[in-house]
Amino acid sequence: MLEFWRDDGQSVNDIAARLSLPGHALSLLLARMDRAGLLTRTRQAPDRRVVWVRLTSAGATAKMWCCSTSSFRPAAHRTPA
């Protein structure tokens, strides 16, 4: 989820490249997240092979909830103990 929260409106290939994974490796994960209502996947002209991922309001709410709990802090926001 952290990768999706970093920058909304990304292509699957961009996300996969940042995670050092092939694009098809994310397919099942994205499908589950889409069914859960956390994100949407769309294809846009002219190249319908490219799949764009955007957070839904539920996905953005999950981000706020996770980042507000004291037990969860993304690595970039952690303070040394």
Residue 34: which CATH number?
A: 1.10.10.10
Instruction: Look at residue 35 in the predicted model and tell me its pLDDT.
Output: 94
Residue 12 lies in a domain: yes
**Do residues 66 and 74 touch, judged by C-beta distance below 8 A?**
no
- Enter the tokens of residue 26: 């994310």
SS3 assignment, position 73: coil
Instruction: Look at residue 41 in the predicted model and tell me its pLDDT.
Output: 92
pLDDT of 10-22, one tens digit each? 888 898 998 899 9
The larger pLDDT score, comparing residue 79 to residue 61, is at 61
Counting the structural domains of the chain, the total is 1
Cα dihedral sign, 27-40-13-17:
negative
Residue 70 lies in a domain: no
Residue 67 lies in a domain: no
Which of 53, 27, 29, 28 shows the shortest CA–CA distance to 40?
A: 53
Structural domain that includes position 45: 2-60
Residue 32 pLDDT > 90: yes
55, exposed or middle or buried, with CB in 10 Å at 0-12, 13-18, 19+? buried
Residue 19 lies in a domain: yes
